[in-house]
Amino acid sequence: MNKQMERETLASLHTLPALPYAQDALEPVISRRTVEFHYGKHHRAYVDTLNKLVPGTPFAHESLDNIVRRMARTPGHNAIFSNAGQAWNHAFYWKSLRPAGAARPSAVFLGRLEADFGSLEAFKLGLAAAATVQFGSGWAWLVLAGGKLKVVHTSNADTPLTHGQRPLLAIDVWEHAYYLDYQNRRQDHVRAVIERLLNWEFAEANLERAA
Ligand code: FE
């Protein structure tokens, strides 16, 4: 393979995954305009930047999952890890949401939430609190950690994968996730997402895979 072909192969290593629904499917909680920018500009930029950064590094032939898992134990490479983390987190985030409407966890998943949080309501309050307490940019998560469901938050591009936790659901609390629709009202955005957009089936499938 010549140098030019090699560069092109590497450049297409990481791809922007398709959005799992139409860009207006999350309205009225998240507008089409927010999704256009968030998915079409921000998420795409993380993937494109990662593809520019990895050639010639130890990560040139690594999958996105592998790069992200190495984040916590490999010094340096901050730009690669930030863009890889954000690429991974956003792909997971879009799947954590579903088109707006009433939805409840299955009886089995509800049982897990009740066992580990006390009630569905307590879980929702805990997730909203994690999303609100995260200072500046970051993420709120439902994870499986030590055999229990837990709510955690991470800063910037950090992800539960690097802390030995299995992500089940994610909420993006970077301003770009809500600013066009909610300005500075992160709490209102987060509450609406939790009430109307969480993809319980995705969370349950992630839990089954992790078990
Ligand atoms: Fe984002």
How many angstroms does the Cα of residue 38 sit away from the middle of ligand 1? 6
How many angstroms does the Cα of residue 81 sit away from the middle of ligand 1? 15
Q: How many CA atoms lie within 13 A of 165 on its CB side?
A: 20
201 has pLDDT over 90: yes
Task: Write out pLDDT tens, residues 87-135.
Answer: 999 999 999 999 977 689 999 999 999 999 999 999 999 999 999 998 8
How many angstroms does the Cα of residue 100 sit away from the middle of ligand 1? 19
DSSP H or E segment with residue 151: strand 148-155
User: Average model confidence (pLDDT) for the chain?
Assistant: 92
Please tell me which residue, 6 or 209, carries the higher pLDDT value. Answer: 209
Residue 76 has a pLDDT of 81
11 has pLDDT over 70: no
Architecture of the domain delimited by 107-210: 3-Layer(bab) Sandwich (3.55)
5 has pLDDT over 70: no
Residue 7 has a pLDDT of 53
How many angstroms does the Cα of residue 42 sit away from the middle of ligand 1? 7
Residue 6 has a pLDDT of 54
| Chain centroid to CA 100 | 18
Task: Write out pLDDT tens, residues 33-83.
Answer: 999 999 999 999 999 999 999 999 989 999 999 999 887 777 788 899 999
How many angstroms does the Cα of residue 176 sit away from the middle of ligand 1? 6
Q: Which of 36, 54, 39, 24 is nearest to 89 (CA)?
A: 39
Region 140-154: mean pLDDT is: 97
Q: How would residue 1 be classed by pLDDT, with cut points 50, 70 and 90?
A: very low
How many angstroms does the Cα of residue 48 sit away from the middle of ligand 1? 15
Residue 70 has a pLDDT of 85
Q: Which of 102, 140, 147, 106 is nearest to 124 (CA)?
A: 140
Q: Which of 92, 99, 96, 98 is nearest to 46 (CA)?
A: 92
Q: How would residue 207 be classed by pLDDT, with cut points 50, 70 and 90?
A: very high
How many angstroms does the Cα of residue 1 sit away from the middle of ligand 1? 36
Residue carrying the six token digits 């707006």: 100
Task: Please tell me the pTM assigned to this model.
Answer: 0.92
How many angstroms does the Cα of residue 114 sit away from the middle of ligand 1? 29
How many angstroms does the Cα of residue 162 sit away from the middle of ligand 1? 19
How many angstroms does the Cα of residue 7 sit away from the middle of ligand 1? 28
Residue 3 has a pLDDT of 59
As a whole-number percent, the residues of the chain with pLDDT over 90 amount to 83
Q: Which amino acid is at 59?
A: F
* 197 Cβ neighbours under 8 A, 6+ residues apart: 26, 29, 30, 97, 98, 99, 100
